[in-house]
Structure 1
Amino acid sequence: MYGWSGNLLNVSLSDGSIAYEDTPYLQDYIGGRGLGVRLFFERASPHIDPYDPSCPLIFSLGPLNGTTAPTSGRCSAVTRSPLTMTIFDSNCGGSLATRAKACDIDAVSITGRADAPSLLVVEEGTASIVPAENLWGMDIPSAGAALKGRYGTRAGLAMIGPAGEAGVRFATISTDDYRVFGRGGLGAVMGSKNLKAVVFLGSRKTAVADPAQLRFVREQALKLLGANPITSRGLKAFGTPILVNIVNTMGMFPVNNYQRSHTDRADEISGETITATMLEKRRACTACTIQCDRITSIDGVRSRGPEYETVWALGPNCGIFDLRSIAASNKLCNTLGLDTITCGATIACAMELVERGHLDAPISFGMDISDTIGLIARREGIGARLAEGSRRLAESAGAPGYAMQVKGLELPAYDPRGAQGMGLAYAVSNRGACHLRSYILGSEVLGIPKLLDRMLTGEKVSLEITLEHLNAAVDSLSLCRFTTFSLSEEYFSRMLTSVTGVEYSETDLMRIGERIWNLERLYNTRCGFSRDDDTLPPRLLEEPIAEGPAAGQVCRLGKMLPGYYRARGWDTEGNPLPYKLEELGLDHV
């Protein structure tokens, strides 16, 4: 078999059983996100609690992992999110995917709960459950160093920190090189299983059906990546924080929990300023030429990043414009295992609740948040309430409208009142408010694949659906989303064909993306999600932006949502119609 290994590893932490089976669904779901979602769908009841030992946590790989395909260093993790209660996939870069794929598996499905803190050690053709009481309580860097000392520097690690152990609903799963499965609280699910880390020890190389064709397609793809100023210069020079000034200039850079959408202080925390004052070195994930990652240092704080979303969430959204403070908070979140977006957005929500008299807590906009982050990770004091995420926090305070979230997942750093397509993308995302399900902002702000007027609703529905399908497929190939700035589905299908030896057309690839999207939707509807959940916070629908380049705008979601349902083949409540399920081969699931 080429590309795939054909091996699915099943592990029960409760009884210690370890078994392999032939991996199903590969040609119809590819791998990565698609394979993980399909496996979870059939193994998890829609009534299952994320913390139930029988709830699967699935790490899923793609056929391009371990090859020379550009950016083929991504890995997906799938479960039910304790933050959103939706089916949830999270994606991670770095070196983990390549090292996991070398264990001769397509995926590992983990169920059960160990009696004591444990490790899962995966090797080629075997796996074992190992005691880890000595690691429980360690932060991410300490645990990583201990595991590397024990298993060697070539080991691939997926670890949780104190936040995952404490069941914080937005805890992360981290790798040894500070890449993370960031959103949705998958680290809390892992912690509920008493699983401190998964260690991957393998040396198998991915077999390629047509190496010459892969080399040819790779060379063409690298030329396109090199010709695009975003993937060749912008991200390499300034990282993702290059977006700070761009988004702020358009009047859609949220400040103080989305109370404002423009600031005169953006340059203080911009990608240009970070590069000029903090940059130590640039890094890349496995098989990547884009090199958006970086190591930074400022006033004794040395850390990875911070990324654009992190700069915003732990900075201006909390009224903070000090780069050292942002860098320190970022490092603390990475050390303890917290999603920086939800952490910052929940703190910002708490700050506004305090400001408006709905919450009594010693926090306010502009204050240092490092102590609050520590309280959240340990679930101590006010941190115990914030550890539930912004939706539950605001609901408990009797003011749910101040939580900037969709389906429980906090909005990232783009105010959709200034880009109508982003509002639709947030509302219909299967995992809650996510900019990466489609990244339609690429068209509305960057002109990729074509420039659309960001203030208009026209053309947004068809493009949104196309991008949702494309990105679901790219996630299943286990490639980086940034490739979609430069490459079309033609190149993705040709890479997949050359590696696996199975003929995939562009149409095949997009149909697989559509199948994945509808399967995720189907799971959520069976969980009770409906049209009522495909919405936005009242502030974004009802309160016009007060000042800046997007002043006077609200998100006109109601003009787009009905057309989106029709174009998808769903009924007026957002349920996939029988003909659509049959068309996608989902009529019997």
Structure 2
Amino acid sequence: MTWAGKILRVNLTQGTIKSEPLNRQWAREYIGQRGLATKYFVEEVDAKVDPLSPDNKLIYATGPLTGTMASTGGRYSVITKGALTGAIACSNSGGYFGAELKMAGWDMIIVEGKSPKPVYLSIENDKAELLDASPIWGKTVWETEPWIKNHHQDPLIRVSSIGRAGENGVMYAAIVNDLHRAAGRSGVGTVMGSKNLKAIAVRGTLGVGNVRDPKAFMAAVNAGKKVLHDNAVTGQGLPKYGTQVLMNVINEIGALPTRNHRDVQFEGAKDISGEAMHEPRKTDGKPNLVTNQACFGCTIACGRISKIDEHHFSVENKPQYWGASGGLEYEAAWALGSANGVNDLEALTYANFLCNEDGMDPITFGATVGAVMELYDMGLLTKEQLGVEAPFGSAKALTYFAEITARGEGFGKELALGSKRLTAKYGHPELSMSVKGQEFPAYDSRGIQGMGLAYATSNRGACHLRGYTVASEVLGIPVKTDPLVADGKPELVKAFQDATAVFDSAGICLFTSFAWTLADVQPQLAAACLEEFTMDELNTIGERIWNMERDYNNRAGFTAKDDTLPPRLLKEPAKTGPAKGLTNKLPEMLPRYYELRGWTPEGTLKPETRTRLGL
């Protein structure tokens, strides 16, 4: 059980909405959320489709544990062909929206076509309708959500929407729910905007249905919660410092990409760290951090709520930014900060507020600014072109760029392209720190070798959430491996990638995997669902999902040549820290990885691999 058993199919071109039964056989083979929605997507959408054409589809999906008592069971994913990458995209978000969708009685929403005019989808349990969004088109996420709640006279509605970035075609626009939780990467918000769909508003009062064995489920859930509570990362580090607990750690081991990956350590890391967010400011004696916050059903509570210094240059005449809102997480703090050499915590918080407010992925935005600052440093971009002096370290340039990008003003139109398109336009594609068009997150793969292989082979472009070998290489979870060696990393990366696919498909947060293995997830799924989902089955399902995504990308035109890293990481050795003198050893790791995956040297699935996985 715990699948609602229904999907909502919305055709925006025709303005039609219909309910369909969930394909139970596919649910058995792919679980839910990422796996199941991707199965629907690859069966229905031509791999050659233009991401911004009406023929692309956008799928909102929950997992069988979404909305249940399982810790962190509040997740949902958005699956489409990514605007930024042209590859399969699946962006995962927390907050409360996913659980609300499940409690309204829906496993998934499949959005097709393109509306002739701006609309939003309103769902109240089994009643769904498309409504006029012209009053909120052109508005930010922060204006859209309150407007919808007020319009429907229901403060308990949960809203998932795009801001001006999604409307204006910023290639890395995000979809934001609950004001500051986001399905952030790959341009899923750009696809939503191309369909003239402003928001989905959900009110669900039906609950999630029955779990198969309530007694066994509660026992498994409680056991899982105890494991999270007793773990140093999920029980102490993340609640206190959030993901920002990593800033100083990653900097010390020489794997914090700095100034567009020119360096691997940032002298200003301590100023923008989780610890710094706790310290009283010199100006007003108050810390940047107000409190932590949890998503639906979460016992970790890693979310940050921050307040900017009202006298800071970025907000001194802007009282609308003086209230508390979603604060910096590690990836955003790195991308807005270290990637650009900026160590101004308040400026980073302001830029992050703007990313939330208008629905932009802060990772791609910040990394793109890093490429622009390098082009400026080389004399290839000027103040006249940019509208501002933009040397590495300029907080003023960072905040100015954040303001103009979502609005599509001036050089903001160029920043909206993402680093791959922008650097190619100015003749230096090698300055884009990306894979398959998606920018790296906050780990330099010269200092953490496994992450280089994980980035290069990720199905959605460079990503830390598709095989977080940092857990093993840095934190020693579940076993400690040496971050500076390539040996054994293909096995590690494959194991992490397959397991992650299961976590994502179950409807729980990946951060549980700092403490949980699949052995902690399996009894929860087995007690909740009609299927037993043995450990062997879960391992196979994870592998099946990974290979299904890979196969779609192959048909979309991606080949083994795309499983690579920028020349900087392969040819320019790290200058400082434990990795000094090292480049990433991808050429050593990739052949072994292909062999483990059961792929040809060209990076395609062998017939026997297809047969074994039922693809």
**Interval containing the TM-score (normalised by the shorter chain):** over 0.9
Q: Which residue of 1 aligns with 2:529?
A: 500
Same amino acid, percent of matched pairs: 42
Aligned mates of 2:126, 2:256 — CA distance in 1:
49
Contact kept, 8 Å, 1:254 with 1:316, in 2: the verdict is yes
373, 389, 395: which is aligned to 2:402?
Answer: 373
Q: Which amino acid aligns with 1:467?
A: F
Per-residue CA deviations over 1:339-374 (Å, capped at 9, x if unaligned) read: 000000001101101211333333221222222122
Contact kept, 8 Å, 1:303 with 1:327, in 2: the verdict is no
Aligned mates of 2:373, 2:408 — CA distance in 1:
18
Contact kept, 8 Å, 2:101 with 2:203, in 1: the verdict is yes
Gaps of 5+ in 1: none
Aligned mates of 2:177, 2:126 — CA distance in 1:
22
Contact kept, 8 Å, 2:172 with 2:418, in 1: the verdict is yes
Q: Give the Å deviation of 1:105.
A: 1.1
Kindly indicate whether residue 228 of structure 2 is the aligned counterpart of residue 225 of structure 1. Answer: yes
> Normalized against structure 2, the TM-score is what?
0.94
Q: Give the Å deviation of 1:279.
A: 1.8
Q: What is the DSSP-based 3-state SS (H/G/I as helix, E as strand, rest coil) of the residue aligned with 2:348?
A: helix
Q: Which residue of 2 aligns with 1:567?
A: 596
Q: Give the Å deviation of 1:148.
A: 1.5
Q: Which amino acid aligns with 2:183?
A: F
168, 193, 196: which is aligned to 1:194?
Answer: 196
How is 1:69-84 mapped onto 2 (pairs within 5 angstroms)? 69-84=70-85
Aligned mates of 1:31, 1:122 — CA distance in 2:
21
Per-residue CA deviations over 1:170-220 (Å, capped at 9, x if unaligned) read: 001001241000001111111111111011122111121111111101111
Per-residue CA deviations over 1:469-505 (Å, capped at 9, x if unaligned) read: 1100110001111111111212211111111131111
Report runs of 4+ in structure 1 exceeding 3 Å deviation: none
Aligned mates of 1:181, 1:156 — CA distance in 2:
15
How is 1:94-493 mapped onto 2 (pairs within 5 angstroms)? 94-151=95-152, 152-206=154-208, 207-276=210-279, 277-300=287-310, 301=322, 302-360=324-382, 361=386, 362=388, 363-367=390-394, 368=396, 369-493=398-522
Q: Which amino acid aligns with 2:599?
A: W
Contact kept, 8 Å, 2:41 with 2:79, in 1: the verdict is yes
537, 542, 557: which is aligned to 1:513?
Answer: 542
Aligned mates of 1:126, 1:199 — CA distance in 2:
12
Q: What is the DSSP-based 3-state SS (H/G/I as helix, E as strand, rest coil) of the residue aligned with 1:446?
A: coil
Q: What is the DSSP-based 3-state SS (H/G/I as helix, E as strand, rest coil) of the residue aligned with 2:391?
A: coil
Q: Give the Å deviation of 1:317.
A: 1.2
Aligned mates of 1:166, 1:574 — CA distance in 2:
36
Q: Which amino acid aligns with 2:185?
A: R
Q: Which amino acid aligns with 2:427?
A: G
* Structure 1 vs Structure 2 CA RMSD: 1.0
Q: Give the Å deviation of 1:123.
A: 2.6
Aligned mates of 2:557, 2:290 — CA distance in 1:
48
Moved more, 467-476 or 375-384: 375-384
Contact kept, 8 Å, 1:241 with 1:271, in 2: the verdict is yes
Kindly indicate whether residue 66 of structure 2 is the aligned counterpart of residue 65 of structure 1. Answer: yes
Kindly indicate whether residue 585 of structure 2 is the aligned counterpart of residue 556 of structure 1. Answer: yes
Moved more, 358-367 or 96-105: 358-367
Q: What is the DSSP-based 3-state SS (H/G/I as helix, E as strand, rest coil) of the residue aligned with 2:331?
A: helix
Q: Give the Å deviation of 1:523.
A: 0.3
Aligned mates of 1:337, 1:200 — CA distance in 2:
19
Gaps of 5+ in 2: 280-286, 311-321
Q: Give the Å deviation of 1:312.
A: 0.9
Aligned mates of 1:319, 1:249 — CA distance in 2:
16
Contact kept, 8 Å, 1:94 with 1:177, in 2: the verdict is no
Contact kept, 8 Å, 1:210 with 1:499, in 2: the verdict is yes
Per-residue CA deviations over 1:271-295 (Å, capped at 9, x if unaligned) read: 1111232221111011111010121
Q: Which residue of 2 aligns with 1:21?
A: 20
Q: Which amino acid aligns with 2:201?
A: V
Q: Which amino acid aligns with 1:351?
A: M
Aligned mates of 1:224, 1:33 — CA distance in 2:
25
Aligned mates of 2:325, 2:583 — CA distance in 1:
37
Contact kept, 8 Å, 2:179 with 2:357, in 1: the verdict is no
Contact kept, 8 Å, 2:179 with 2:356, in 1: the verdict is no
Q: Which amino acid aligns with 1:353?
A: L
Q: Which amino acid aligns with 1:347?
A: V
Moved more, 466-475 or 263-272: 263-272
Q: Give the Å deviation of 1:555.
A: 0.2
Q: Which amino acid aligns with 2:33?
A: G
Per-residue CA deviations over 1:65-100 (Å, capped at 9, x if unaligned) read: 111011111101100011010010000001011101
Contact kept, 8 Å, 1:12 with 1:18, in 2: the verdict is yes
Aligned mates of 2:450, 2:578 — CA distance in 1:
17
Contact kept, 8 Å, 1:165 with 1:192, in 2: the verdict is yes
Q: Which residue of 2 aligns with 1:535?
A: 564
Aligned mates of 2:488, 2:28 — CA distance in 1:
32
Aligned mates of 1:251, 1:463 — CA distance in 2:
21
Q: What is the DSSP-based 3-state SS (H/G/I as helix, E as strand, rest coil) of the residue aligned with 2:608?
A: helix
Aligned mates of 1:379, 1:538 — CA distance in 2:
31
Aligned mates of 1:190, 1:370 — CA distance in 2:
26
> Normalized against structure 1, the TM-score is what?
0.98
Aligned mates of 1:149, 1:213 — CA distance in 2:
42
Aligned mates of 2:325, 2:340 — CA distance in 1:
20
Aligned mates of 1:275, 1:435 — CA distance in 2:
26
Q: Give the Å deviation of 1:511.
A: 0.8
Aligned mates of 2:58, 2:202 — CA distance in 1:
16
Q: Give the Å deviation of 1:422.
A: 0.5
Q: Which amino acid aligns with 2:597?
A: R
Q: Give the Å deviation of 1:380.
A: 2.1
Aligned mates of 1:263, 1:26 — CA distance in 2:
46
Per-residue CA deviations over 1:399-423 (Å, capped at 9, x if unaligned) read: 0010100000000111000011000
Contact kept, 8 Å, 2:141 with 2:179, in 1: the verdict is no
Aligned mates of 1:370, 1:447 — CA distance in 2:
37
Contact kept, 8 Å, 2:471 with 2:478, in 1: the verdict is yes
Contact kept, 8 Å, 1:237 with 1:275, in 2: the verdict is no
Q: Which amino acid aligns with 2:95?
A: G
Aligned mates of 2:401, 2:519 — CA distance in 1:
47
Q: Which amino acid aligns with 1:186?
A: V
Aligned mates of 1:528, 1:357 — CA distance in 2:
35
Q: Give the Å deviation of 1:432.
A: 0.5
